[in-house]
Structure 1
Amino acid sequence: MRLLVMLAIVCAAFFPAASSSQSVPDSLGQMQLSFAPVVRHAAPAVVNIYAQRIVAQRQSPFADDPFFGDLFRNFGQVTPRVQDSLGSGVIVSDDGIVVSNFHVVGNATEIRVVLNDRREYDADIILTDEESDLAVLKLRNATDLAVLEFADSDHVEVGELVLAIGNPFGVGQTVSSGIISGLARSGIAVGSGRGYFIQTDAPINPGNSGGALVDMRGRLVGVNTAIITRSGASHGIGFAIPANLVAQVVAQARDGETRFQRPWAGVTAQAVDATLAEAFDQRIPEGVILLELHPDSPLADAGLTRGDIVLNVDGAAVNSAPEMMFRLASRGIGATSELVYRRGDDLRMAQIDLISPPDTPDRMARRVEGRSALRGLSVARINPAVIAEFNLPPNAEGILVTSVQDFAARTGLRTGDILLAINGEDLRSTDDVLRQSASQSRNWHIDVLRDGRRVSLRFRI
């Protein structure tokens, strides 16, 4: 009898009775038995996305020629073409809010979302952010939806088990397992996104983009976005957008924003490397050093200045400029953040208000029209909002070229150029640009600042 009892205990431990009431594992022992409860909980909230967009394509007789194909790449008739895109998404609210990647649905003209139970819905884009490679969709007339809860991605640790759920290669929903391989991956261009990522070795393949990276409690840790690969295959270096940033993007979409609004810091910063650490008598390299601050920067308003080294934001260490900006962006406009920074030998603390970039003084946007060699040129006076919009240095000033079309596109001017002078006349306002563009001269000379260098453009009409 004793032997039978012992046998029953062992069987119960290693072969638990099947039950439809299985839940997400809450112990290491349960997790080691199977990932099935996690998948059962999370998979219904991961969807397949089929998107179509219209793109312009040139039909050139030299398209397949190895030499003339490149030489005449702009030759031929432009015809519209339908481009299909396949990816994944995550349902994050029961009213039909879905998060995916910008590179999956950005600029799509038609989006079809297929749920895990094979229901299909049309969807509309309600917010996009190319910089973070995120897009927020709203399903039409969807009901009875499974939802994934957001995890606090700031508490994720290297070595934690995670599952990647998506639709790789269009074969259908697939689950792959792995661990968190690294945090604070920044300075990496991944897809169309640039910034701060979670790295995982859970296999991520084409079609997984926009899918869920979930923890062992079935919560959303991040949105899978891309891999680093030379062959096109997954080699265990995948990246996900942290859930805290995803949650902030979703919150802004719910508030009616169509573009993600980041808090404005008004600074340029650089990671402290070994050389800088030695110069500043640091035992180990840590933090980011402030190189430039706009006079209206909230950091400047809180007392920080050029040369200060920011060590952490809201209790989290920061060791790169993208990581610092991620911390601020995940808090959102209207919140406050606490910064710890070093000035010389002193350790200091400051609280900053997270604000949108001020659109003051007025940008005085203007567009050249009529009979002019610069027709189609759009310009604006540089202010903090323009600096943020066009990713200019905090100390930028003057008149910015915001768009180049029509005749102006033939002059050599580019979006992002800072206009200095036209035909020898210095420019101090956008109205000066309109006045100088009305010149009937046949010989034109335009001075611009491009990527920090003065460039002279000369042409004749």
Structure 2
Amino acid sequence: MIKTLFLPSLMAALLLALPMPGAAQDLVPRSRAEISLSFAPVVKQTTPAVVNIYASRVVETRSSPFADDPFFREFFRGFGATRPQVQNSLGSGVVLTGSGIVVSNYHVVAQADDIRVVLNDRREFSGRVLLADAEADLAIIQIEDAPADMAHLNLRDSDDVEVGELVLAIGNPFGVGQTVSSGIVSGLARSGTATGEGRGYFIQTDAPINPGNSGGALVDMAGNLIGVNTSILTRSGGSNGIGFAIPAALVAQFVAQAEQGHAYFQRPWAGISGQEVDAAMAETLGLSVPGGVIIASLHRLSPFAEAGIEVGDVIRAVDGQAVNTPPEMIFRMSVAGLGAEARVSYYRDGKDRETTVSLIAAPEDPPREPMVTGPDSPIPGVEVETVNPAVAAGQGLDTELRGALITDPGAIGGRVGLLRGDVVVAVNGIAVTDGASFEEVLKTARRQLHIGLLRGGRQLTLRLRL
């Protein structure tokens, strides 16, 4: 009886000890080299090129006893003496050339009066902004009196990056000092997910990113830069494992334009408006799967129109890369760069087609013609300019919008409610198409003014008695 029980138990134990066919096996390191595997070689290679950035600016603030009261501060706005106050920001940056060109985030150095760049070995240098762009949240900085042949990172083509790749995030979180965290690429083609002013197309990673990491490096296991850390998705303020990095392909275009002497990033102009194709729309169009950007309108000067694309076409890819949202399409155009020609794949009438689109800057047609309303105007001293494609692109306005952009409301205009950035589209029911027509219509007013405005995407009417 004892033997009968023992033998089956022994056989069961042996069967459990044997690996099952197709089952995963735990591997134990078999050599000293395997035991010592680590990220240390990559860290040693990359950290000298990651810097800390300290930026400061002086702002005028008012000391008022009502500043913290949500009711009375509106009545006492501007009350109290002004005093200068220094605002500081902390972030990271990545050296990209031996001559000391550094990439960081726009929000780290925005409007800074003084920029200090601190190297990995604690040497400090002054920095100046060569090119900055709030929309992409990128800034290119030149280190003043940079040491010869600085340590720098090579840019990898971010189009080759795949979900699941191991990555390291390097920066200065919370100001504790240079820190390295590891993770993987969690997602690609993330758009509309960043915080602050930055908008566009991002690489997602679960490598812990915290405040102070902004502008730091996201590197692959070969030590190449694949992205610049820019933001996190969080409710607590700390890292929840959802961070975003700006792809290196776009960073390369920023560096190229900075080296060409541009102070502002110049994006290719599409001259179109559109929306992503969802499941319901795909079924209506006869597409097997949702995807692409359907064209809703085309400006008469649009290079897409010149290439033969029409309203109702679905843009599916740019230079062989799929696009599913307008920000993705603009990203692909920006990566190609001004002056280039992009291969655009589109869908029309049940067929996939392809054309070549010239990537151009937004045209100054008609000329913006800045002007100031004269002393005989009901609102003298208002500075305006005609809204054209270049103005609309710079202000984030609709491609087809026509009107007069207020660049300075002047003393009287400011008192009656006009703001810088307002677009006047009508006065007393008469359409305003440019700066000149704005002044002409103003002069015809007698007893009242009804000024139709576009402000922050909303339509408003300013009513005044003369």
Q: Same fold (TM over 0.5)?
A: yes
Is the 2:387–2:434 Cα contact (8 Å) retained in structure 1? no
Deviation at 1:377, TM superposition (A): 2.1
- Kindly indicate whether residue 141 of structure 2 is the aligned counterpart of residue 121 of structure 1: no
Partner of 2:200: 195
The residue identity in structure 1 corresponding to 2:181 is S
1:445 positional shift:
3.0
In 2, distance between residues paired with 1:392 and 1:428? 15
Superposed CA offset, 1:264-284 (max 9, x none): 001111111111111112221
One-letter amino acid of the structure 1 residue matched with residue 147 of structure 2: T
User: Residues 278 and 403 from structure 1, CA distance in 2 versus in 1: closer, same or farther, beyond 3 angstroms?
Assistant: farther
Change (3 A) 1:305 1:440: closer
Deviation, structure 1 residue 406: 2.0
Q: In the alignment, what sits opposite 1:150? A: 155
Where structure 1 has 5 or more consecutive residues not aligned to the other structure, the ranges are 1-8, 17-32
Aligned-partner residue type, residue 159 of structure 1: G
Match of 1:366 among 361, 366, 371: 371
CA offset digits 1:204-254 (Å, max 9, x no partner): 111111100000000001110111111111111111111000110111000
How far 1:53 moved relative to its partner?
0.9
Distance change >3 Å, CA 78–CA 367, structure 1 → 2: farther
Aligned CA distance change for structure 1 residues 235 and 70 (closer, same or farther; 3 Å): farther
State whether structure 2 residue 92 is matched by structure 1 residue 88.
Answer: yes
Change in 2 beyond 3 A, CA 1:78/1:370: farther
Contact 1:92 1:99 in 2 (8 A): yes
Give the residue type in structure 1 aligned to 2:412.
Answer: F
Pick closer, same or farther for the CA change 1:452–1:177 going to 2, 3 Å.
closer
**1:112 equivalenced with 2:116 (yes/no):** yes
CA contact (8 A) 1:292 1:306 kept: yes
Contact 1:102 1:192 in 2 (8 A): no
Q: CA RMSD in A?
A: 2.3
CA contact 1:163–1:177 (8 Å) conserved in 2: yes
Q: 1:298-309 to 2 correspondence within 5 Å? A: 298-309=303-314
Pairwise mapping of residues 374-389 of structure 1 onto structure 2 (< 5 A)? 374-389=379-394
Contact 1:372 1:439 in 2 (8 A): no
SS of 1:253 mapped into structure 2: helix
By how many angstroms is 1:451 displaced? 7.0
Amino acid at match of 2:90: L
Asked if residue 36 in structure 1 is aligned to residue 40 in structure 2, the reply is yes
Q: Deviations over 1:403-439 (max 9, x none)?
A: 4342112333344544344356554542233345457
| Cα distance in 2 between the residues matched to 1:439 and 1:369 | 14
Which stretch shifts more, 57-66 or 324-333? Answer: 57-66
1:42 and 1:448 map into 2 onto residues whose CA distance is: 51
**1:431 pairs with 2:451:** no
CA contact (8 A) 2:402 2:433 kept: no
Paired residue type of 2:396: N
Cα offsets for 1:291-319 (capped at 9, x unmatched):
11111111111000111011111111111
Instruction: Pick the aligned partner of 2:34 from 7, 10, 14.
Output: 14
Give yes or no for contact 1:48–1:88 (8 Å, CA) kept in 2: yes
Aligned to 2:256: 251
The aligned runs of 1:207-218 (5 Å cut-off) are 207-218=212-223
Is the deviation greater in 404-413 or in 148-157?
404-413
Question: Which residues of 2 match residues 32-431 of structure 1 at below 5 A?
Answer: 33-65=37-69, 67-69=71-73, 72=76, 75-144=79-148, 145-370=150-375, 372-423=377-428, 426-431=431-436
Q: What stretches of structure 2 of length at least 5 have no aligned partner?
A: 1-28
Give the equivalent residue in structure 1 for 2:19: none
Q: Which moved further from structure 2: 136-145 or 41-50?
A: 136-145
Q: Which deviates the most, 130-139 or 278-287?
A: 278-287
Would you say the 8 A contact 1:165–1:208 is kept in 2?
yes
2:4 maps to which residue?
Answer: none
Larger CA deviation: 72-81 vs 334-343? 72-81
Letter in 1 for 2:243: G
Partner Cα distance (2:462, 2:246) in 1: 42
Q: CA deviation at 1:380?
A: 1.9
Does the 8 Å CA contact 2:91/2:212 hold for their aligned counterparts?
yes
Kept in 1, the 8 Å contact 2:171–2:214? The answer is yes
Aligned equivalents of 1:261, 1:328: Cα separation in 2:
11
**Match of 1:446?**
451
Number of residue equivalences: 437
Tell me how far apart the structure 2 counterparts of residues 185 and 74 of structure 1 sit (CA, whole Å): 42
Amino acid at match of 1:182: G
- Alpha carbons 2:402, 2:425 under 8 Å: kept: no
Output the TM-score relative to the length of structure 1.
0.89
CA-CA distance at 1:114 after TM superposition: 0.5
Cα pair 1:373 1:407 within 8 Å, conserved: no
- How far off its partner does 1:361 sit? 2.0
Amino acid at match of 1:413: L
Tell me how far apart the structure 2 counterparts of residues 253 and 78 of structure 1 sit (CA, whole Å): 37
User: Given residue 239 of structure 1, which amino acid in structure 2 is its aligned partner?
Assistant: F
- Structure of greater Rg: 2
Matched-pair identity in %: 54
Amino acid at match of 1:79: R
Normalising by structure 2, report the TM-score: 0.88
Shift in alpha-carbon separation, 1:439–1:305, aligned structure 2, 3 A: closer
Is 1:191–1:225's contact at 8 Å kept on the other side of the alignment? no
TM-fit CA distance, 1:76: 3.7
CA distance in 2, matches of 1:92, 1:68: 50
Whole-angstrom CA distance in 2 between matches of 1:303 and 1:424: 37
Rate the CA distance shift 1:424–1:159 in 2: closer, same or farther, 3 A: closer
Which amino acid in 2 is paired with 1:128? A
* Separation (CA, whole Å) in 1 of partners of 2:297 and 2:238: 41
- In structure 2, how many angstroms separate the alpha carbons of the residues matched to 1:429 and 1:35? 60
- Quick one: distance in 1 between partners of 2:287 and 2:428? 52
Equivalent residue letter for 1:358: P
Distance verdict in 2 for CA 1:37–1:305, change over 3 Å = same
Taking structure 1 as reference, are residues 122 and 328 closer, same or farther at Cα in structure 2, changes over 3 Å only? Answer: same
Q: Aligned-pair distance for 1:381?
A: 1.9
